[in-house]
């Protein structure tokens, strides 16, 4: 995803806590989207809702936290 690529670039350039939070958040967004796609178009798994929502909200938190770091 473009967001993950941008977060990797940010982390490689700055290596600050803000960059770490942004990178972790972007990675969790990718995991959330992958879980959503896998559950919708591939194999439905039992804990899909918990996995998707927990990774999504944690990603939101980490990206927001990167602004204040």
Q: Could you write out the DSSP letters of every residue in 1-69?
A: -HHHHHHHHHHHHH--HHHHHHHHHHHHHHHHHHHHHHHHHS---TTHHHHHHHHHHHHHHHHHHHHH-
Phi, psi of 34 (to 5 degrees): -65, -40
14-67 confidence digits (pLDDT tens): 999 999 999 999 999 999 999 999 999 988 889 999 999 999 999 999 999 999
Q: What is the pLDDT of residue 44?
A: 86
Do the beta carbons of residue 39 and residue 48 sit within 8 Å?
yes
**What's the token pair of residue 24?**
């972790």
């Amino acid at each position: 995803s473009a967001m993950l690529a941008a977060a990797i670039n940010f982390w490689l350039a700055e290596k600050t806590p803000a960059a770490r939070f942004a990178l972790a958040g972007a990675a969790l967004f990718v995991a959330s989207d992958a879980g959503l796609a896998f559950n919708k178009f591939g194999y439905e798994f039992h804990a899909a809702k918990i996995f998707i929502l927990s990774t999504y909200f944690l990603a939101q938190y980490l990206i927001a936290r990167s602004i204040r770091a």
